[in-house]
Chains A and B, each alone.
Chain A
Amino acid sequence: MNSIEQGNNSNSSENRSSKLIAVINSRAPYSSTSGKDALDVALIFGSYEQEVSLFFHGDGVFQLIEKQNSMLIQLKDYLKTFSAFEFYDIEKIYVCQKSLQNRCLTDKNFHIDNAVVLNTKAFNEKLHQHNIFFRF
């Protein structure tokens, strides 16, 4: 994937394009609406059959941790929608290992099972394969 050449073959108004979309989650789930806003963006690209990958780093990794009860603070549990990713063809989910380690977290406590934990180098390389980035 050559990011320099992105878009050269997508001048039509069709919704199809060869671009890879990265939605980057860097905020904890319930202190702001960022996580939900990122989810909505990922789902809309998925429903238009665009290739979209999800990245979690920094406090964003907290969105993957199971057994969170958002109802205690009167917030809707948007994290349960993560289990619907496969219906939107969102299969590429990458997690920064260092962000997990820094927060004493492991993938054993994830509430989805298809997230791939990558070291910093592999995480960066994966990001670089994408053409468009949305960061929340």
Chain B
Amino acid sequence: MPSLAIMVTTPPFSNLTVTAIDYIKAAIAADIEIIGVFFYQDGVMNANNLISIVSDEYQAIEQWQKLHAEHNINLHLCYTAAEKRGMSDEIETMSIDESFILSGLGELVELSSQADRVVQL
């Protein structure tokens, strides 16, 4: 089974994030193993559960939650990029959705060394 790692650098309100999610769904449908998604730069905002996008627009976070719950896909955040954008996993200020894991750039190295292919979106 070929394996794929994804890096997402766009925020949840970007249509490029929709492309990333569609790409991942297509890969799953094609029996490609997604070993992890790494969120970097504005991509970390996808995990921010305080971001509210009007209900008739695309709800990226719901899609990520679904991908995590139904396909057990690991969603890694760059810790530094998340903190820079006011996101924290401390209880009082919790703004990181529980589908996501706080990681560091080292995780990107790990994913890159394990995956057959890495795609940045």
Contact = CB atoms under 8 A, between A and B. Distances in A.
* A and B are partners in one complex rather than unrelated chains: yes
Interface stretch (B15-23, B93-101, B111-119): B111-119
A17 B120 CA distance: 19
Interface in A1-28: 6-8, 10-11, 13-17, 19, 21
A45 to B, nearest CB: 6
A17 B113 contact: yes
A50 B113 contact: yes
B39 interface: no
Interface string A29-43: 000011001001100
Interface residues of A, number: 25
A44 interface: yes
B120 A134 contact: yes
Contact of A132 (B3, B81, B118): B118
B40 A15 contact: no
B116 A21 contact: no
B88 interface: no
Nearest to A17: B113
Contacts of B67: none
Interface residues of B, number: 20
A8 B114 CA distance: 10
B108 A15 contact: no
A126 B45 CA distance: 34
Q: What does DSSP make chain A's interface, helix, strand, loop or mixed?
A: loop
Contacts of A14: 113
Interface string A102-136: 00000000000000000000000000000011110
A93 to B, nearest CB: 20
Contacts of B116: 6-8
Interface string A55-84: 000000000000000000000000000000
Nearest to B109: A48
Nearest to B40: A37
Contacts of A132: 112, 117-118
B106 A13 contact: no
B105 A41 contact: yes
Given A6-B116, A7-B116, A40 B105 contact: yes
Given A40-B105, A44-B105, 13 more contacts: A6-B116, A6-B117, A10-B113, A10-B114, A11-B114, A16-B113, A33-B41, A45-B109, A48-B106, A50-B113, A133-B118, A134-B120, A135-B120
